[in-house]
Structure 1
Amino acid sequence: MSQSQYLETLISWDYDGVTSLVTLFKYLLNFTTEVYYVCNERSEGHAIGNLLDEIPKQTKVFIAVDSSSNDVESMKLLSSKGIDCLIIDHHTVTVENPYAVLVNPQQPNCKYPNKNACGGLLVYKVCQVIDDYMNTHYSNDLNDLPGFSLMADMMSMMELENRYYAKQSLKSLRHAGLRALFEAMGFDLKNLSATDFLYGVSPAVTAATRADNIKLAIDFLMCDKDCAEIKGLAKELIKSNERRKEIQAEALIALKPFVNLEDKTVIVYDPTLGKGFNGLVGQELSKYFNRPAIVLGEGDDSNTYAGSFRGLEDFSMLDLLDECESVIYTGGHPNAGGLQILKVNFDVLRQELNKKLHDFEPDDSLYYELEFDIGEINEKLILYLSEFYRITGNGFKQGKFRIKGLFISDKKLMGKLNNTVKIDCGDIQLMKFKTDSEFYDTVPVFTEVEAIGSLNMNYWKQYKPKFKITKTMQLFIEDYKELVKNKNTYIKRREK
Structure 2
Amino acid sequence: MEKWIEIRKGGNFMEMAKKYGIDPLIARIIRNRDIIDEKEITEYLYGGKETLHNPHLLKDVDKAAEIIAEGIAEKKTMRIIGDYDIDGVNATYILLDGIRRCGGNVDAAIPDRMKDGYGINEHLIEQALSDGKELLITCDNGIAAINEINFAKEKGMTVVVTDHHEIPYRNTEQGKEFLRSNADAIVNPKQADCPYPCKGICGAVVAWKLVQVLYERMDIPVEEADIFIENAGFATVGDVMDLTGENRILVKLGLKALEHTKNPGMKALIAKNKLSDKPLSAYHIGFVLGPCINASGRLDTAKRSLELLLERDEVKASALAGELVELNESRKYMTQQETQKALEQIEKEGREKDKVLVVYLPECHESLAGIIAGRIREAYQRPVFVLTRGEEGVKGSGRSIEAYSMFDKMTEVAELFTKYGGHPMAAGLSMREEDIDKLREQINQKAELSEEDMAEVVRLDAVLPMSYFTVDTIRQLSVLEPCGKSNTKPVFADRNIKITRAGIVGVNRNVLKLHLLDSKGNPVAGVYFGEVEKFLTFLSEKFGSEEVDAAMHGKENSIQFAAVYEPAVDTYSGRESVQAIIRRFR
Same fold (TM over 0.5): yes
Q: For residues 304 and 567 of structure 2, what CA distance do their matches in structure 1 show?
A: 34
- What does 1:17-416 correspond to in 2, within 5 Å? 17-32=88-103, 34-44=105-115, 45-46=117-118, 47-55=120-128, 56-94=130-168, 95-137=179-221, 138-158=224-244, 160-173=245-258, 174-176=261-263, 177-187=265-275, 189=277, 191-223=279-311, 227-259=314-346, 260-299=351-390, 301=392, 304-324=393-413, 327-328=416-417, 329-361=419-451, 362-385=454-477, 387-403=478-494, 405=497, 407=499, 409-411=502-504
User: Structure 1 86/245 Cα, relative in aligned 2: closer, same or farther at 3 Å?
Assistant: same
User: Structure 1 132/210 Cα, relative in aligned 2: closer, same or farther at 3 Å?
Assistant: same
Deviation of 1:83 after TM superposition, in Å, equals 2.7
User: Structure 1 5/249 Cα, relative in aligned 2: closer, same or farther at 3 Å?
Assistant: same
User: Does the aligned pair in 2 maintain the 1:38–1:54 contact within 8 Å?
Assistant: no
Q: For residues 205 and 357 of structure 1, what CA distance do their matches in structure 2 show?
A: 35
- What does 1:471-482 correspond to in 2, within 5 Å? 477-481=582-586
Q: For residues 84 and 333 of structure 2, what CA distance do their matches in structure 1 show?
A: 20
The residue type paired with residue 186 of structure 2 is L
The residue type paired with residue 21 of structure 1 is T
Look at both structures and tell me which one has the larger radius of gyration over its CA atoms: 2
Segments of structure 1 that go 5 or more residues without pairing to the other structure are 461-467, 482-496
Deviation of 1:368 after TM superposition, in Å, equals 1.8
User: Structure 1 76/326 Cα, relative in aligned 2: closer, same or farther at 3 Å?
Assistant: closer
Q: For residues 195 and 51 of structure 1, what CA distance do their matches in structure 2 show?
A: 35
Q: For residues 456 and 201 of structure 1, what CA distance do their matches in structure 2 show?
A: 24
User: Structure 1 175/42 Cα, relative in aligned 2: closer, same or farther at 3 Å?
Assistant: farther
The residue type paired with residue 296 of structure 2 is A
Work out the percentage of aligned pairs sharing the same amino acid. 23
Q: For residues 294 and 447 of structure 2, what CA distance do their matches in structure 1 show?
A: 32
Q: For residues 256 and 412 of structure 1, what CA distance do their matches in structure 2 show?
A: 30
The residue type paired with residue 89 of structure 2 is V
Q: For residues 323 and 498 of structure 2, what CA distance do their matches in structure 1 show?
A: 41
Q: For residues 536 and 433 of structure 2, what CA distance do their matches in structure 1 show?
A: 40
The residue type paired with residue 5 of structure 1 is T
Q: For residues 190 and 468 of structure 2, what CA distance do their matches in structure 1 show?
A: 47
The residue type paired with residue 311 of structure 1 is S
Deviation of 1:165 after TM superposition, in Å, equals 0.9
Deviation of 1:187 after TM superposition, in Å, equals 3.9
Q: For residues 390 and 281 of structure 2, what CA distance do their matches in structure 1 show?
A: 38
User: Does the aligned pair in 2 maintain the 1:326–1:349 contact within 8 Å?
Assistant: no
* SS at 1:43 equivalent: coil
Pair 1:8-2:92 in alignment: no
Report which stretch shifted further, 284-293 or 305-314.
305-314
Greater helix proportion: 2
- What does 1:419-430 correspond to in 2, within 5 Å? 421-426=510-515, 427-430=525-528
Structure number with greater CO (CA < 8 Å, separation at least 6) is 2
* SS at 1:63 equivalent: strand
Q: For residues 580 and 138 of structure 2, what CA distance do their matches in structure 1 show?
A: 43
Deviation of 1:403 after TM superposition, in Å, equals 4.7
CA-to-partner distance for each residue in 1:169-189, whole Å, 9 max, x for gaps?
A: 012322533344334434475
The residue type paired with residue 9 of structure 1 is I
Q: For residues 332 and 271 of structure 1, what CA distance do their matches in structure 2 show?
A: 22
Segments of structure 2 that go 5 or more residues without pairing to the other structure are 1-71, 169-178, 516-524, 540-547, 553-558
The residue type paired with residue 128 of structure 1 is Q
Q: For residues 119 and 153 of structure 1, what CA distance do their matches in structure 2 show?
A: 9
Aligned residues: 461
Q: For residues 571 and 104 of structure 2, what CA distance do their matches in structure 1 show?
A: 45
User: Does the aligned pair in 1 maintain the 2:466–2:567 contact within 8 Å?
Assistant: no
The residue type paired with residue 321 of structure 1 is M
